[in-house]
Structure 1
Amino acid sequence: MASYLSIKARLLIFALCIALIPIAIITTAYYFHSRNALKYQIVEKLKAVAESRERHILSTMERMKVRAIDFSSDGIIRSGIEKIVHGRSSKPDAIIRLNAYLKKNKLPLYSHRLLAIILVDKVGKVISSTNEKFVGKDFSGQDVFVQGIQKSYGETCVGQPQYFPDLHENCIFTSAPIISKHGAETLGVIINVYNLITLNEITTNPVGMGETGEVCLVNEGKIMFTESRFLEDAPLKLAVDSEPVRRIIEKGEEMVGIYKDYRGQPVVGVSKYLPEYKWILLTKTNKAEAFAPLKTLGIIALILGAVSAAAVTSFGIVFAVSTSRPIKDLTKATERFARGDLGHRVKIIRKDEIGFLANSFNSMAEELARVINEHKRAEKELKHYSTELKRSNEELQHFAYVASHDLQEPLRMISSYLQLIKRRYKGNLDADADEFIHYAVDGANRLQKMINGLLEYSRVDTHGKSFELADCEVVLQQALTNLKVVIEESIATITHDPLPTVMADSSQLLLVFQNLITNAIKFRGNEPPRIHISAQLRENEWIFSVHDNGIGIEPEYYERLFVIFRRLHSREYPGVGLGLSICKKVVKRHGGRIWLESEPRKGSTFYFTIPGKRC
């Protein structure tokens, strides 16, 4: 009786003591989960806004660049500036006509945000413009001219936003070179001047930004050049030295999180970098507004916690009183089962969860006993099969080595006598005899190559060296030296990226490089071979690639390529079909993989991996 009361008392104390712990954990978890969910929703919303504004900005800038290219390729503009530059007509008249053409036919066709079109000759002097007061001005020091004059036809330059005193406006410039119709000469540069309001209209769009949301653009000088929602006269004057700006400028990292903005206010924000223009896009909203719903969530969490605590405490008392004895029996049964008494069963007859648990325990014991016995039997069989497989592989390896080694001497004798017959009797017999002798000699030579290849294939495992640091740069250079004659005869161009140092058998790694490069040279098209070798570290392995411009391979033949003595092409391509098999075996010995990607007539890329890390 004392034991029963003791267990019951412990359960009661346990239930009362821990009732509030899970409630507190659940309530806290609910609050923080809700907080994180809310933060996630806020961030996702800000990301969506940032991506939308980014696309809008990029499309707007793209339209500006397209306009610059369109203007620079206009035949009338090109002819007009060519006449002015080369003095083929009255210069004042030509300038007047060109000014009029720009005003009438170009400026009105596009957005009212296009303030001016300026044509500058190749020394930086303005020779024509929609605004006559620019004519004659010197733009040679303007960055948009300096970069624009260096561009090729169809390329553009976008200048950084700045205040343009001649127009008393904040502006952004795009430029493109004007090339003569025959492409022989750069005549000058066309510069389009846009009002910065073009970008302000995108960033100040209030849709989806709430009461304190803001989108702005900052340059690499940490100066905001779009309008602020909170400060007047901010464009090109307000310095923004916030954390996301510093991260992008100093580390090139975009940021999502909470930080203090240029007002010193805590905000939730997203930053994006526009590398083409070296701009930083900031999308943010005040932290107070973003997390305002958390107050309501806190009240809900407290109410749920209090109600749950009362319910769990009551349930714990009932549970402790009604289950103390069956739990004790189950505990004893579990202890016996843990000691290895798999034949023991729980004797509890109840039509509730405890009874179900007891039945489940008994079923589990029976199933576990059966599984353990089957596992022992399967483990014994697996060990036997593993031993047999290892023995079989060793016998096959030994057979391949012995067969290829022992066939060398008789084959050399056959080949030598066939060569002697060919030299002594060539031309002395009829044409059929000469042809038969030729076939016999060729067959002996091919058989010699196959035996040599088979011997080399069998030595991958039996004669492999222990792994040590191997400089792949040195290994590749050795392979290229060995293949120098083949490379020169095929006029092959072989390039490579910096290659790593890995733990490997350098002599076998040399075989892989030689076979893959030989393969690329052998299966070339009409053009001279172009081969590029590179390596990239991914996770814990180096991925090497050998890319060529050869004849390519159909996808259905990929797996067959690595099968020993399997060839896909006729004898127009020499070889016995062992090179890739050797590569696969070497790579497998090093714990790696080998595969390829190819398109017919578009070349192939062979990949193989070597475990390792950056040294």
Structure 2
Amino acid sequence: MWKRKILKHNRISRKLLGWFLIMSLLPLAVYGYASINNGVKTVKNEVMTKLISVADDRVQRIGDHFFDIEKNVTSLAQSPTIINTLREFKTVFEKGKTASTDNRFFSYNYSAIEKGFGLFYTPGKAASRYHDLFLISPEGDVVYTATKGDDFGTNLITGLYKDSELAQVFKRAKTLLETNISDYMYYAPSRELAVFIAAPVLSEGEFKGVIALQVDNKDINGIVNDYTGLGRTGEMVTASKGVGEAVFAMPLRNDPEAAYRRKIPFGSQERLPILEAVNGNKGRGLAVDYRGKEVLAVWRYLPSIRWGVVVKIDANEAFAPVDRLKGWSMIVGFVTMVGAMAVVFFVSRSISRPIVQLTESTKIIGGGDLNHVVDVVSYDEIGQLADSFNDMTGKLKGSYLRQERINARLQREIDEHKLAEEKIRTLSYAVEQSPSAVVITDVNGNIEYVNQKFSRITGYAAEEVIGQNPRILKSDNTQPETYKELWEAITSGKEWYGIFCNKKKSGELFWESTYISPVRDTDGTIIHYVALKEDITDKKLADEKLEYMMADIQRSNKELEQFAYVASHDLQEPLRMVASYMQLLQRRYKDKFDNDANDFINYAVDGSKRMQELIHDLLAYSRVGSPGRYFEQIDIETVLDHAIRNLGMSIKDSGAVVTHDSMPTMFADGIQITQLFQNLISNSIKYYNEAPPRIHISAKQNKKAVTFSVSDNGIGIDPQYYERIFTIFQRLHGKEKYSGTGIGLAICKKIVERHHGKIWVESLPGEGSTFYFTIPEK
């Protein structure tokens, strides 16, 4: 008894402790959360302000750098020295085209001009900020480069580097007659990423050529890799917009080899800041970078060089002060909670002790000892409760005697109802275990009872539908007139039978046949409706499928018969007559016509034969889609051997070697599978290289389907034609080289699709082909 008291005492103490902690610590928790949240916002704003400042500074420095270079190039283009030097280089270069560059006259004159020009411009100076200088003639010839790289002497319109950024900026400067900046892309002669600034050289308004400067990357690298204000993890990311992707332009702090090697396709990942930047967008926020790490980032766009720029820092580093704040908040909260628990423990003991005594007294009284008196000395609400319990005990004594008399009377009534209940129970078992769903409603249609079968069919438990209207199963696929007819029948006391398309709890539609009958009381008044329901979905779907299949078979047969008649009679007979008379004309009058006439007759005869082949193949193609033979269990190895025997003459003439693995047994149309193998093997024999054809057929079986393959060592197929070759009338080669109508593979595809499989090819030109097709197990 003492232990039970302590247990109750502890339970009340825990409740008091819990409520006290909730009421006292909740404000502290809310305050702590608000403080931490405000700290996060403050830190984020401070870091973002610093990043914006750094980003704007870097963008301004890069923009100013290129602006200065652009002014220098424009100034050089207007210099008389550049104009005269370009003319002299062009003259010597034109003469040198007819002689080797080792020609003494050419070398002497060119070196003399170059020496004079070197006094005006010397590449490689620290102050020059350029990697190379180019003088380009109006025709696109690179008549001078300071570094004498591989691009010297080439033509930027027709030569090796016609697609380079140097060529593109030359063309824009020539066309627009204004200074232009190229994209930052890899340039092969200098073996690095390069950007070019080109200006037109004009003399008295006449276009004389273009001067182009390749910018030295050192200054840009210095700006990009300046990590001042970016902490331990911050960096600046630069990229240009390529074809469908963002191409990183400069080395990164976390990836020194990123320049031109790291690329991010558009749309391949979530919207990264660098993708937003290269598309011309400006923004800031919490994002994920190219490494997949969470960062605070600011992104900008540099229109002058078409760069996207992102300045970022890892979120872990940025929010480190907030993490420290969270740690201290947890320590303070824990100390506060321990102190509060100690206070509540002592207070709860003084409150819970009389409550435990009162609880034990109630158990004694509840056990039947109505003479027990609750002995709690207290002048508060608990003492008042003890007095109320004592008054209640006295009243219970009187009520107990009265209840004994009532119980005797009730026992007699209970005995009388037991027999009736047994009958009801038997009826209930029958209804509950009925193979049909049973629903009982009141006169307003509200559900009062459903059996287990109803729950299994609809997915609704009984407690979910009691009190509901059967409209919860309504799917809107049953005509409103049906419900109107139902209600009019049963409210007038008649029985009703019909079919509904209803909806299960899962949303799945199902069909059910329903029989509804009114239930009357002894006075003949309708008091309930009972419905017997049966799920007929499978039968309904089977009927619809059978009806659809019969209609499809009739339509297909009709189309096939009509086409077969046209192909075999209306087309073939006239064509056969034309071919016969043309062949007769060829035999009788061959020596009487000139060569052109004989060629014309040969063309007509050859065309007639190919037309007959085409009609024959079209007829075969149309027959594949007709219902034809039923599927049956066939030995694929027997079918394959039959197809190989049919091609025996072609195999012998071509010297082909046909091998195959063990083949399975499965349900299929044997005739069509024979035709399928025959067409694929025939193609392998037809399209072969110089070596005799070597063809191998294999089969790989899994749980759902068998995958067959037909491999050869033929001429192969370009990947761009993988889909086209299965389209009717599509040929990849002229009829002069390879015969055929372009229908064979289309027939193969139609046969495979009739068997609910798929067909595809894997091949490369000159490396042979492998055709795959699948046939499901069932």
TM norm. shorter chain > 0.5:
no
Report the TM-score, using the length of structure 2 for normalisation.
0.35
User: RCO higher in 1 or 2 (8 Å CA, sep ≥ 6)?
Assistant: 1
Which has the higher Rg, Structure 1 or Structure 2? 2
